[in-house]
A and B are shown apart, each in its own frame.
Chain A
Amino acid sequence: MERAGGGGASYQRFPRVRIRELRDDFAKFELRDTDASMANALRRVMIAEVPTVAIDLVEIEVNSSVLNDEFIAHRLGLIPLTSAAAMSMRFSRDCDACDGDGSCEYCSVEFHLAARATDSDQTLEVTSNDLRSTDPKVCPVDQARAYQHALGGSEPFDTAAAADQRQLPFLTFPFPFHEGILIVKLRRGQELRLRAIARKGIGKDHAKWSPAATVTFMYEPEIRINEELMETLTLDEKRNLVESSPTKVFNIDPNTQQVVVEDAEAYTYDDEVIKKADAMGKPGLIEINAKEDSFIFTVETTGAITAYELIMNAITVFRQKLDAVRLQDDDGDLGELGAHLVGG
């Protein structure tokens, strides 16, 4: 595309990504050499615009359970389905092959559920494992995991190990994941029979299509300790200073008894340490600045797609969006943005 040299300086940059940690449903990576707008756009796309597949239409044949039809339909919708194929699927509204009734392989997947409690006294728990998919590619996440597990694959996401790593003991789940997600409990004689159609969608339309459980980023902090001033502190004062931060950012070197930065990224920009230094009468003891061009992303997915897929798909979607902007009518006054796009 030709573009008259408008004289605008090129702000082109080459962002770098370094992946620190990548598991099936968790990723931590650095994004450098770009600004907040890009980082935030990536976050927003990951949450709201990466497509997944989720149950969207439920036809209930029999429901004599205690929950009403709407409630069950809503619960079904929120079950994460494996959506690796979602990017290549069509949106139901754009599908030419069907009129959106779900009998089309390009835009929808059909599920069946039939459960009836016949056992005498035991309540029957209807879970996501009872959903029968017509397409093996799209099924409830727990089913897929259990299948992998059965194949002898390693436990994809060892919750206990992950929790240990992140020092969050409350994350340990008391039950194994392959029991499935509970939909409804049936008493003797109660029955639930339904047909459900899963469709592709994005989190913007309904949260059930959002593949991201959490996507967040932080600016990388840059911590400078004024060692000269720090020397004036007693050990007790140092300890007080270190303990003033609710997160473990600083530590005292047991050998040199110097305050060292242990984990800069644990810092939450809460200014507690700086306030403490001020209160101790030593302003400027510690200086913390946010690096304007470096971001540390934390991504957790619902399991519908892997964290890797989520990031890659997000970038793809993001590119498509930018393309859409670029391909807009040239008369559209893009202004400075145009200069950016030329570079890309």
Chain B
Amino acid sequence: MAAGKGPSASKADQYAALRELYRPHIDSFDYFVDEGLDRMLLSIRPLEIAKGHLLPPKRDGRVDVPLYPQECRQARTSYHGEFKVDAFIQCNDGPSIRQTFNFGHLPIMLMSKLCHLRGADSEKLIFHGEEATEMGGYFICGGMERLVRILILQKRNYPMGLIRGSFVNRGAGYTDKAVIIRCVQDDQSSVTVKLYYLQNGSARVGFWLGGREFLLPVGIVLKALIDTSDREIFTSLTCCYSDHYERGKGIVSTQLIGERAQIILDEVRDLSLFTRTECLLHLGKYFRSVMEGFDKDDFETVAEAVLKDYIFVHLQNNHDKFNLLIFMLQKLYALVDQTASPDNADALQYQEALLPGHLITIFLKDRLQDWLRKSKPQEVRKILSKTSTYVGKAIESMIKVGKVNSQSGLDLPQRDGMTIQAERLNFHRISSFYNSEGAIKDFNQIKKSLIAHLVGAGMAQLLPRIERTGPPEVLHVHLDGCIVGSIASPKIEEVVNHLRSLKLLPHSGIPEDLEVGYVPLSLGGAYPGLYLFTNPARFLRPVKSLLGLSDGGPSIELIGPFEQAFMEIQCPDGGDGGRNKLFPATHEEIHPTAILSVVANLTPWSDHNQSPRNMYQCQMAKQTMGFCAQALKFRTDVKAFHLQTPQTPIVRTATYSKYCMDEFPSGTNAIVAVLSYTGYDMEDAMILNKSAVDRGMFRGHIYQTECIDLSAKSRDNVMEFFCKSNLSRETTTAIESDGLPRIGEKIFPNELYYSVCNNLTGSVRPIKLKGSEPAAIDYVAVNGTNFKDRLQKANIRLRRVRNPIIGDKFSSRHGQKGVCSQLWPDIDMPFSANTGMRPDLIINPHAFPSRMTIAMLLESIAAKAGSLKGKFIDATPFASSVKKTDENSCTSDSIVNEIGPMLASYGFNYHGTEVMYSGVFGTELTFEIFIGPVYYQRLRHMVSDKFQVRNTGRIDQITRQPIGGRKFGGGIRFGEMERDALLAHGASYLLHDRLHSCSDYHIADVCSICGSLLTATVIKSDNQKAKRDMLGLPTIKPPKNFACQACKTSKGMETVAMPYVFRYLAAELAAMNIKMELRLSNRAELPTSEES
């Protein structure tokens, strides 16, 4: 045992990096609890003042007894808290009623503010049956751990210019160009507004309402928003064009804009709408039937509501909306005239994340609205009497199933697959769930006072009004989708730099995660402007800022994907990344590994591998059978793979210790020899040393938990419960007196392991163990007593031993997977002359040349040196390129030259090879063998789960052919292509064996006279045989006892071997009145010559 280090004082900080991975989930749920819920309730219309109460999980039926997640997993229930809303409702112009509504239970995210384990230290977590490193971030629904997937959405509040063929289908005259903005309100619900370009130069505003898209002429919307004149609209639209500039850098508009503005205005005039009121009336008339709850309001109110709820919902002020719409029109025309390029909807630049808390907020809002709609707020009584608990159930089922059941679709790109099960196969798998979309800044407090800070920062003369001109003279400044001002283009760089430096200061009032998206002027590039974002759900990452060098050392700045596309970020890889001298780098990556995910970061020296191999490793790391959980005793996973004796890798990256991977190691340092030995290592097979396996290498278990709930599946409404039969006095069975198995008992397939008693009949039904391998009872848990103190619900955890056998799959950390082909005796393995070591594992040298996994070779020699020295070796990728800046360790230019001398100093070969002797002959092998420890993982694909063997067995009832499917003991299909192969080889006997003898071999009686296959009938002439039986004489061969029903004779009867399906075919054909006739070759001969 290694000398254990004492528990370090900073144990909490130990997991800080790990916790960071889970933070977006937890923070967003906290936001939902703190603010999102109330904000959302306020935005629901008939509720006047509402206050939501979400309570921490409590045990059923008891007050103030906290419910812990562990109990939920065990009992297969949900970790949820009560959800109540205090609301004033006003209906039918009557007095508003205060009422507390009970909406059932809402799932509570683990480690969120409402979780009992929030802030618990390791000891408390362990006390409550959790992992010491439990990070939460998921929900428990019906005992399953469900995780909300982070979906990618279009960036909120940013107008995107898109070209899509589908826009043409909106109607006649539509083109494929549009500007789209996804507007998100305070309560995180969103409405997408599209501005389509028409062939005639006009545009249509489109948005979805009640399942269909409404398209409005842009002029009406402009006029309905504010009291304005045609002239104002015209000048606003055309301000970005001036004859002074022709087609130059940053020009976004052309002369055509004036004509288009005219068309827009003409459209409105043609409808004889002149004033704002007329426009509102026009809209109101159109929308009153569609808008819910406005049946009795006048048209103007309806129109105002439409503008408020569907047009640019992120803005409150109609003037802001007007300005934004003008801006979108200008961008649309720039897109049409190709003075600005379309935006790429698939680029991260224009994307953001859908966070769990936000998803729940918007889905809950939708459900509450649905509930209000159903209970018809006109009748107060109905609301009060209507059950409302199904609202909570809907949320729970959304998390459980991952399906968003909503009519509106909530403006989400997909409706199902919102959640996934958080599988705990190993750390890699679970971390990849959380890390799937990178770090997401969940910044919830939207700082409304940002403008004031901008002004206060000495830019007052630049900001306050929107100039009536456009690029290239001035650039508009957007803050979260609102045009707040404009800045003259020569000064803008200064402003951006100032903003960035303010971002770095601790108390500047500018949030440290402000995204300063400065799109510079360009020729036909992205539409210019200064876009500032403070909203939540943006992606963020830290980089070193080279600007803030004044106060000593570079400081860390958080940047987003939108701004980074226009920033000069250098990577400390030694090169300049082909950067132009005109644009010096303003920022620097913290480390080149920033591009890698957590899992990819764990591959040692991945910069020395061929890139696809690193991808394979990332895949395989998630299939590794590792140390799945430390609290395995308390876990009830349906299936858990557990490695018995894992080790920590000798060669590891910095990420390994950062994320405390030693808590859940996933492999073994195996001594790997690279040589072709015995031939059993061909084609990626590998030879394991039997003695090494005997000593425990790669041994593992599978834990399977069966949850038996008799109350749920009671047959015919008859109660069942666990019980042991009183009749059987068997002592061999594992079943104890309560009908449940004894812990520790080993059970073989088809043995009984629990029994169930039927309450009505009193009959006891024992249940057999399924599968083909023995299992040990690891654990039995009884859940509650809900039927006359009889046991009805139990978890039985089975443990299956899975020691390595031929056919199991293993892999190194370099995408080099292989299958164990032999467990080779220790004495037959080659041995090293000086150390006497025999390898644990032999792989073939052919695994290397084509795959070029140099890092695996490096790992081998580095681990060898490390184990001799007694030190872990750091294998962080790109480390050598970063080191160059130090300029003091230039002695070694490659990893080999760093490690080689170390090996040599311990008396080993510089390149990690050793002289080896054949274990069989004791003679020296001709070549020196490359041997050293490599961290190997056992993958969860094991032959025991996959092998399929069959000689005879179950057959199909109709065709009498063998059935398929491993579960039923079926065979593997010998299909047409396999048949072709045998034919090509001329292996006719084998073909006959496969397709006939081993399949539906059948001897049919055929009448050679009429050729019928189906007319054979048995003649009842058994009296002779019976007589002989009575006399005790030996039975002679019975005579032919078949006759043809059609020919009324048995003379022509012949036996013919054929597939049974052929007979079946004949029967099927006969059913269709088609006669099938067989012409036997010996038909001409007399049947008398026949011997049976």
Contact = CB atoms under 8 A, between A and B. Distances in A.
A203 B691 contact: yes
Greatest chain A CB density within 10 A among B701, B834, B910 is at B834
Given A216-B831, A216-B836, A206 B921 contact: no
Interface of A: 36-37, 39-41, 43-44, 47-48, 60, 63, 66, 68-71, 74, 78, 170, 174-175, 182, 203-204, 206-208, 210, 214-219, 246-248, 266, 268-270, 272, 290, 298, 300
Given A68-B776, A69-B776, A216-B832, 10 more contacts: A43-B922, A71-B644, A204-B825, A204-B827, A206-B694, A207-B694, A207-B826, A246-B907, A270-B913, A272-B909
B799 interface: yes
B696 interface: yes
A63 B778 CA distance: 11
Contacts of B692: 207
A214 B836 contact: yes
B907 A268 contact: yes
Contacts of B1074: none
A70 B701 contact: yes
A219 B834 CA distance: 11
A298 B836 contact: yes
Contact of A170 (B834, B868, B922): B868
Contacts of A170: 868-870
Given A170-B870, A268-B833, A69 B744 contact: yes
A37 B922 contact: yes
A6 B695 CA distance: 48
B3 interface: yes
A126 to B, nearest CB: 13
Contacts of A69: 744, 776
B1 to A, nearest CB: 6
Contacts, number: 106
B633 interface: yes
Interface in B124-166: none
Contacts of B836: 214-216, 298, 300
Contacts of A175: 3
B73 interface: no
A219 B924 contact: yes
Interface of B: 1, 3, 633, 644, 690-692, 694-696, 699, 701, 744, 776, 778, 799, 801, 825-827, 831-837, 868-870, 903-910, 913-915, 917, 919-924, 928
A36 B923 contact: yes
Given A71-B644, A207-B694, A269 B915 contact: yes
Contacts of B909: 246, 268, 270, 272
Contacts of B924: 219, 269, 290
A79 B834 CA distance: 26
A275 to B, nearest CB: 11
B921 A40 contact: yes
Given A246-B908, A290-B924, A207 B915 contact: no
Contacts of B827: 43-44, 47-48, 204
Given A69-B744, A216-B831, A247-B907, A48 B825 contact: yes
15 contacts: A37-B921, A39-B922, A47-B826, A170-B868, A204-B827, A210-B826, A215-B836, A216-B831, A217-B833, A219-B924, A246-B909, A268-B833, A269-B924, A272-B909, A300-B836
Which 5 interchain pairs have the tightest Cβ spacing? A40-B922, A216-B836, A207-B694, A207-B691, A214-B836
B725 to A, nearest CB: 27
A296 B330 CA distance: 90
Greatest chain B CB density within 10 A among A74, A182, A248 is at A74
A219 B922 CA distance: 10
Contacts of B826: 47-48, 203, 207, 210
A10 B919 CA distance: 27
Nearest to A174: B3
Contacts of B920: 40
Contacts of A44: 827, 919
Nearest to A41: B922
A69 B701 CA distance: 12
Contacts of B914: 268
A243 to B, nearest CB: 9
A68 B646 CA distance: 15
A270 B915 contact: yes
B825 A36 contact: no
Contacts of A70: 701, 776, 799, 801
Contacts of B921: 36-37, 40
Nearest to B837: A214
A270 B832 contact: no
B633 A66 contact: yes
Nearest to A44: B827
Greatest chain B CB density within 10 A among A40, A41, A298 is at A40
B135 to A, nearest CB: 22
B153 to A, nearest CB: 45
Contacts of B832: 216
B633 to A, nearest CB: 7
A104 B119 CA distance: 59
A142 to B, nearest CB: 14
